[in-house]
Structure 1
Amino acid sequence: MTSAQTAAERIAELRSEIDAHNYRYYVLDEPSVPDAEYDRLFNELKALEAEHPELVSPDSPTQRVGGAALAAFGQVRHEVPMLSLGNAFEEQDLIDFDRRAREGLDLPSGDLFGDGAELEYSCEPKLDGLAVSLLYENGKLVRGATRGDGSTGEDISANVRTVRNIPLKLHGDGWPSVLEVRGEIYMPKAGFETLNARQLEAGNKPFANPRNAAAGSLRQLDSKITASRPLELCAYGVGRSDGDLPDTHVGILEALRGWGLPISRELKLAKGVKECRDYFHAIGEKRDALPYEIDGVVFKVNSTAQQRELGFRAREPRWAIAHKFPAREEVTELLDVEFQVGRTGAITPVARLQPAQVAGVTVSNATLHNMDEVARLGVMIGDTVIVRRAGDVIPQILGVIPERRPENARAVHVPAHCPVCGSAVERTQLIKRSKGRESVTEGSIYRCVGRLACQAQLKQAIIHFVSRRAMDIDGLGDKIVEQLVDAGLVKSPADIYCLSFEQVLALEGFAEVSSRNLLKAIDASRTPSLARFVFALGIPDVGEGTAKLLARALGSLDRISRALPDVLVYLPDIGLEVAHEIHSFFDDEHNQSVIAQLRARGVQLQEEGDVHPDFAACATLGELLDRLNIPFIAATGAQRLASRFGSLGDIIDADWLDLRQVERLNEKAARALRDYFDDPANAARARAIEAQLKEFGMHWESERKAAEGLPLAGQTWVLTGTLESMSRDDAKARLEALGAKVSGSVSAKTSVVVAGPGAGSKLTKANELGLEVDDEASFLKRLASLES
């Protein structure tokens, strides 16, 4: 409040702003500020009204909940108001709540001789979804409604009936003749990711977060749309009840579960405020592993008799509180945008922010990913932006608050020259190939063309090369790499193996022992596995998993380096764009020189061999023809050609009379085939692909081989949660040694999911798909059996 404002003016201003936010949040499902900003405004209004009670009015946001019902739906009057909860942001807020509850019940307070009487509390996560009311009459679901403004909500009966875990008829018996169940409808993280992928594929705007997705799904006038969304209910209480219920909150929830209604799996009973604090911290630690979004914990006095005795304030019950986690979203100012240069030369915009506390951490930088994201957000320097930080994820800008944009806001532009080396910056191009056509579009990445002449790219390339998952040179950290590059001692990865004792000793922070230890670590890294070496090279778009696939499938660096893009795509999960990146990397003279230097300086690759049996004779003639993208020759036509001629050479040389003998090959397709192979470049390309398939043993006429000693060959496993007896990396290595592929995502093709403590959305999806799931004990037993 400014000095010129009166309390009445500030209260009126706050009410207007909060009402606007309520409308956007509850009615439009388009929140304009994060929860932390809303809470600040709300608490300021509460404080002012407490100081000036004569200014409190019935229409103040502090006296009611949310916004009005949407006119598109029928209205439902809640016989028992659906109130919101008071919030605790600090531990002291929770302690004060407990003290007020005990005082309200006239329980003995603590003194020098004891802590006094302790209350029992139910504890459960506060889900981030949409509060709903479900009315059951004689055990049958007859109505569903939103909370609305607490007194009147929207009739969404048709939509709630499509939520799969809401029972249309209660199970068992003993339920009241009229029972109003209250709960939260939310969208699990895995479902949210799938929905957004569908949205993007259809060219639609993705949802900002699971809460918005859930709320938007429930407010569809067409219930078919709601039915297509992955929504779930979690019941948290009851409203009206014409019949007897248990006399505790936990007892009521257990009864609801018995009647077929889902309740939180994290529901616990706590005695006293200390156990509540312990629960809050425990849930906070596993928050990111949960399969759904939560923003805090709800504590409720467990005894319903005590709940009735404590009663209500105007807006909230005195017997419950929501203890919020530190805000993961915050509002701050975008001071500037700088550009960083990565290992592959990618120029990445980084937001410099007015420092703000987000999730308990001071955030002053945030990623903007690329210029397409800058355009999507519409962000300008000087804007007030919403920043989010979740767990250990790099902070990111979620959106802009347009009404706060200053007049002097500046647009964000990509620099024409690299901010490190001054080389030109070029936008990447994406080449899409289809039947007879090749289209070029602009990519989202800008790159410095300076390559290893650019100090930033060189440093990042070396840091990646020596990292633990690559060449694993212990003691060669980021700062040491920077010293070596700045001193001109390392100009490529191969130079690491020429370092002398005197050169290392001269570096800052090194003595004789540490210098010898580093040289020993460098020497020990001279015998990497093929997969580690390929990953260490830093090929664009080739991560650890792709490097392992290349090593396992092709068996030697020579084959990997010579493989044509059209041959690489026969390997699973390698698309044409990645195949071209791999081929271009090894086709580059500088990269060839560095690899030759590494080998000349003693780097000897391990675990090289033949093409893996899984890929022997894996190609077919029909598939090769189809992959050539000849106009009007689809997969079925390619197969007919292969069946008729039997060899690629015969197809290339076929004349019109020969082609007329191919079943259902029309004149247009025949002409397109002849035109394609009449081009010498096309014929040469096809013959080169076939020649390499023969050389690698992948040709359809090659000898098929059986995989030996690999009991999990062809299987895909997923690891989730924490393993107590070994690291995830060790588990992954043991599975791969047995022939399994270890994936980071669950799908219908997954063979087994290993779920340790803290397993989240992957375990949920595995259960939904009915996949085989091993706990750690079963996994260890299976490993012991397979490895014996």
Structure 2
Amino acid sequence: MKAAETRILELRAELDLHNYRYHVLDEPSIPDVEYDRLFHELKALEAENPHLVTPDSPTQRVGSAALSAFTQVRHEIPMLSLGNAFEETDMHEFDRRVTEGLDLPNDGLFAEKVEYSCEPKLDGLAVSLLYQNGALVRGATRGDGTTGEDISVNVRTVRNIPLKLHGEGWPETLEVRGEVFMSKAGFDRLNESQLEVGGKTFANPRNAAAGSLRQLDSKITANRPLEFCCYGIGQVSHDISDTHIGNLKQLKAWGMPISRELKAAAGIEDCLKYYHDIGERRLSLPYEIDGVVFKVNSIAAQRELGFRAREPRWAIAHKFPAMEELTELLDVEFQVGRTGAVTPVARLKPVKVAGVTVANATLHNMDEVARLGLMIGDTVIIRRAGDVIPQVVQVVLERRPDNARKVEIPQTCPVCGSQVERTQLIKRSKGKETVSEGAVYRCVGRLACGAQLKQAIIHYVSRRAMDIEGLGDKTIEQLVDEKLIGSPADLYKLEYDQIIELEGFADISSKKLLKAIDDSKTPTLARFIYALGIPDVGEETAKVLARSLGSLDKVKVALPEVLTYLPDIGLEVAHEIHSFFEDDHNQNVIGALLGECKMQLQDTGDLGAEFAASATLGGMLDKLNIPSIGPGGAQKLADKFGTLEGVVKADWLDMRQTLPEKQAQSVRAFFDVPENAERALKIEQQLKDFGMHWQNEKKVVEGLPLTGQTWVLTGSLELMSRDVAKEKLESLGAKVSGSVSAKTHTVVAGPGAGSKLTKANELGLKVLDEEAFVAFLKQHDISVE
């Protein structure tokens, strides 16, 4: 179980980073196929361990947060990503799930084939176009699926996007969804013109399209050869057609570009024929594609099948196989991340793979270098999976030159010069700790290392942490490079004269940033804990710590064994939390934030009522991991001696009357070690101090009113964001889900609610509008201000 939990946390951290680089920075660092492998591994582990699933997991969510440089737009109907198929067996499995979900006969003479729509999966940037009474009023990126960026001024410059729909009969409200992309010819022209003026060239059409569409200066966007292709609709005031293809054909009649390759397929075998046909023609197409999208054509069937948390059940993307080439490994350089991880990066002899020039690849860690047997000078096979960043998959040993050099981890950090040490993995079990070498090397410079400092502050100011708008990555890099900040606390010491000198800042933007920094001085305790960047502590763990212990003072001094009394906090994470707050540098930064910076934490209070007097002597003895003593033996000791001091001081003969000889000897030997006895008494004292000791007064725990209920939020809320609404529901004990099912208790539907509201009504679920929801919160003494 511990191994699964640790791996889940590792995968979430890695996937979150890759989501951020791909969706926010447009600088992906791994191929799609590698991301998909990590995602499917995480999905499988969470399926095996459903109690470890958290709302902040990449499987529960799409992608990452929107850039602060644009106004944020909340999608009334989330823009979900698609599940992936890589083999024909995956497609047959998808068809089986669809057939069974629709309760269709799928065997023998009476088997019924599902009709699917087929269209190429364009490699660009997903956007939403909102039309009111036929006029384009807003364009937005997908962002994290729930919140995107307002790019209205830029989409209006894309020549094949109609500013006014043609014809008549369109719905009053119509949201069109599709892909903005750049053709191969347009991409070549853009790079040629960039070279002529000495500008930056782009790696591939996808990055060129994304970078062009997200320019703050729409004049730049207007000069880029962008195109749009519609692939579906979002919110709509009334139905258009009863099929997906019918919707697209009607949109085409209204002037909306759709794929010329759009076709209907009768059954899964026709889908596979389409996939192979377009795969053979892939390189001759005028644009880049990375697969084919298949959707159940019937809109009624789509609604019946519904959604998972992250993806629709009625659609799938069948990806093309990764593309491979041979090239030479010229060198291996090392980069430093937020946690100090020193990661090898392959520098390659430039080679074209599927039409894109490739010059580097990530190598993950030194264990991967050893697994490949990689040496500088080798000829390697690289795989450009997902048409983005390549992966080194194999060394061609017969081509190894005589002067090939070994790849060696640097002894000192390439950024700050501090020592580089290999991480250690500590496995704790009854009575012993097993130490092994980890796969990661770390710079020990912490925030004295510029690379770590930049990444730590980027995390600190992020939307789900301190939410300081206006502090983008480039601004933070400038602040660190100019030595204006050396820790998160230094942000609060910045002055107007320092900010206005930064690139991209003028009078108004400088004042706005200072106000945003000042406004962040009153975070909730949970946000503050998350913002600190404690290893393995995500949003949900931060909420658990805040809600359970009630104060930062308790969190800072909590012993690992005490932390394990809290839900979903295992011993390894508990040790990470304890070690973080024991670190002198971290203590100084936190002290500065709460002292000099006058930060005031909100939502602090007493220990959670459910934890008062929650510890038992037997349970505590079990947590000490005494060799040969399990929960049963620990409880026998508790029943016999009544107090921890009694157990510590009991002689072997007294213990022998309670336990078998071997166990009695083990207990006595454990407490004969002074450090063990002192540790046990220290844990007990903290349980008393916190109010968790069995001798403390047990508080009556009143069940939260919404405990056991699942709620769903849909549409836009005017008095609060959906994130705030979610927090208020969670404070009442509810679980907030992203999809509607028969198990949903209540749906809160704001203006613009779409398919979730439709499904809620079909299932006869309780639905509240925002006015009723606010009244409900007030009934439970929850403020909505």
- TM more than 0.5: yes
Q: Separation in 2 of the partners of 1:497 and 1:735? A: 32
TM-superposition CA deviations, 1:339-368 (whole Å, max 9, x none): 221122111233446778999998765543
TM-score of the pair, normalised by structure 2: 0.56
Residue 630 and residue 548 in structure 1: after superposition, are their counterparts in 2 closer, same or farther (change >3 A)?
same
* Structure 2 SS opposite 1:389: helix
Q: Is the 8 A contact 2:334 2:342 kept in 1?
A: yes
Question: What is aligned with 1:399?
Answer: 393
1:194 aligns with 2:44: yes
Residues of 1 paired with 2:362 and 2:233: CA distance? 25
CA–CA distance in structure 2, aligned partners of residues 744 and 358 of structure 1:
39
SS of residue paired to 2:96:
strand
- RMSD (Å), alpha carbons: 5.3
Report what 1:389 is aligned to.
386
What is the alpha-carbon distance in structure 1 between the residues aligned to residue 744 and residue 626 of structure 2?
Answer: 34
Q: Structure 1 residues 597, 298: closer, same or farther in 2, change over 3 A?
A: same
Is 2:506 the counterpart of 1:656? Answer: no
AA partner of residue 503 (structure 1): Q
Q: Structure 1, residues 694-742: CA drift from partner, whole Å, max 9, x if none?
A: 11122223333345583234x486979x866697634532332323466
Check whether the contact 1:718–1:745 (CA below 8 A) recurs between aligned residues. Answer: no
Instruction: Report the counterpart of residue 570 of structure 1 in structure 2.
Output: 565
Q: State the 1:440 CA deviation.
A: 0.6
Tell me the equivalent position of 2:151. Answer: none
Report the 3-state secondary structure (helix = DSSP H, G, I; strand = E; otherwise coil) of the residue aligned with 1:233: helix
1:231 CA drift (Å):
9.0
Q: 1:216 to 1:535 in 2, by over 3 A?
A: closer
Within 5 A, what are the aligned runs for 1:103-502?
A: 193-194=43-44, 233=96, 256=106, 325-326=289-290, 329-332=322-325, 333=327, 336-352=331-347, 366-376=361-371, 382-389=379-386, 395=389, 397=391, 399-400=393-394, 402=396, 407=401, 411-502=406-497
Q: Which amino acid is the alignment partner of residue 400 of structure 1?
A: Q
Counterparts of 1:464 and 1:255 in 2: how far apart (Å)? 51
Measure how far apart 1:217 and its partner are.
Answer: 14
Q: 1:375 to 1:654 in 2, by over 3 A?
A: same
| Structure 1 equivalent of residue 678 of structure 2 | 684
Cα-to-partner distance string for 1:600-634 (whole Å, 9 max, x where unaligned): 22111111111112322222222211111111111
Bigger shift: residues 338-347 or 687-696 = 338-347
Structure 1 residue 550, shift from structure 2 partner: 1.0
Matching residue within 684, 695, 719 for 2:689: 695
SS of 1:326's partner is: strand
Partner deviation per Cα, 1:14-43 (whole Å, 9 max, x = no partner): xxxxxxxxxxxxxxxxxxxxxxxxxxxxxx
- In 2, the alpha carbon distance for the partners of 1:728 and 1:365 equals 40
Equivalent residues in 2 for 1:611-650, closer than 5 Å: 611-650=607-646
Larger radius of gyration: 1
Please give the alpha-carbon distance, in whole angstroms, between the structure 1 residues aligned to 2:91 and 2:290. Answer: 28
Aligned residues: 526
SS at match of 2:522: coil
Contact map agreement 2:117 2:263 (CA 8 A) in 1: no
User: CA 1:284–1:541 in structure 2 vs 1: closer, same or farther (change >3 Å)?
Assistant: farther
Is the contact between residue 505 and residue 511 of structure 1 (CA under 8 Å) also seen in structure 2? Answer: yes
**Aligned 8 A contact 1:345 1:451 in 2:** yes
CA contact (8 A) 1:564 1:583 kept: yes
Identity of aligned residues (%): 53
Q: TM-score, normalised by structure 1?
A: 0.56
Q: Which residue of 2 aligns with 1:589?
A: 584
Give the AA of the match of 1:545.
E
Instruction: Pick closer, same or farther for the CA change 1:504–1:637 going to 2, 3 Å.
Output: same
Deviations 1:421-476, CA, capped at 9 Å, x for gaps: 11111011111121222111111221001112211112222222222222222222
In 2: Cα distance, 1:724 partner to 1:363 partner: 43
Name the SS for the 1:631 alignment partner: coil
Contact 2:525 / 2:551 at 8 angstroms: preserved in 1? yes
- Measured in 2, the distance between the counterparts of 1:469 and 1:398 equals 34
Structure 2 residue aligned with 1:551, among 529, 546, 552? 546
Q: Does 1:536 align with 2:515?
A: no
Work out whether residues 717 and 754 of structure 1, in 8 Å CA contact, stay in contact via their aligned partners in 2.
no
Offset at 1:595? 1.4
Residues 1:523 and 2:515 are matched in the alignment: no
Structure 2 gap ranges (5+): 1-32, 50-82, 120-175, 180-228, 235-258, 292-318, 757-762, 780-785
Q: Secondary structure at the match of 2:382?
A: strand
1:738-773 Cα offsets, whole Å, 9 max, x none, are 234668999xx99999999899xxxxxxxxxxxx99
1:348 is paired with a residue of what secondary structure? strand
Alpha-carbon contact 1:719-1:728 (below 8 Å) kept: no
For residue 712 of structure 1, the aligned residue among 706, 728, 733 is 706
Per the TM alignment, residue 194 of structure 1 is displaced from its structure 2 partner at its CA by: 2.3
How far is the alpha carbon of 1:563 from its aligned partner?
A: 0.4
Stretches of structure 1 that go unaligned for 5 or more consecutive residues are 1-127, 129-186, 200-208, 219-229, 237-252, 270-276, 287-295, 760-771
User: Partner of 1:671 in structure 2?
Assistant: 665
Determine the C-alpha separation between the residues in 2 that align with 1:631 and 1:624. 14
The alpha-carbon distance between structure 1 residues 214 and 371, as it changes in their structure 2 partners (threshold 3 A), is: farther
Distance 1:737 1:618 in 2: 21
* 1:131-175 Cα deviation digits (max 9, x unpaired): xxxxxxxxxxxxxxxxxxxxxxxxxxxxxxxxxxxxxxxxxxxxx
Deviations 1:519-543 (A, max 9, x none): 2222111111111111111212222
Structure 1 residues 599 and 267 mapped into 2: Cα distance closer, same or farther (>3 Å)? same
CA 709–607 in structure 1, closer or farther in 2 if over 3 Å, else same? farther
Indicate how the Cα distance of structure 1 residues 666 and 524 shifts in structure 2: closer, same or farther if over 3 A, else same. Answer: same
Counterparts of 1:561 and 1:681 in 2: how far apart (Å)? 22
Q: Aligned equivalents of 1:587 and 1:211: distance in 2?
A: 47
- Specify the alignment match of 2:730 in structure 1: 736
Give the superposition deviation at 1:589. Answer: 1.5
Give yes or no for contact 2:347–2:361 (8 Å, CA) kept in 1.
Answer: yes
Partner Cα distance (2:400, 2:232) in 1:
37
One-letter amino acid of the structure 1 residue matched with residue 589 of structure 2: V
**Distance in 1 between residues matched to 2:108 and 2:699, nearest whole Å:** 55
Q: How far 1:412 moved relative to its partner? A: 3.8
Partner AA of 2:517 in structure 1: I
Contact 1:330–1:357 (Cα < 8 Å) also in 2: no
Distance 1:437 1:262, change over 3 A: farther
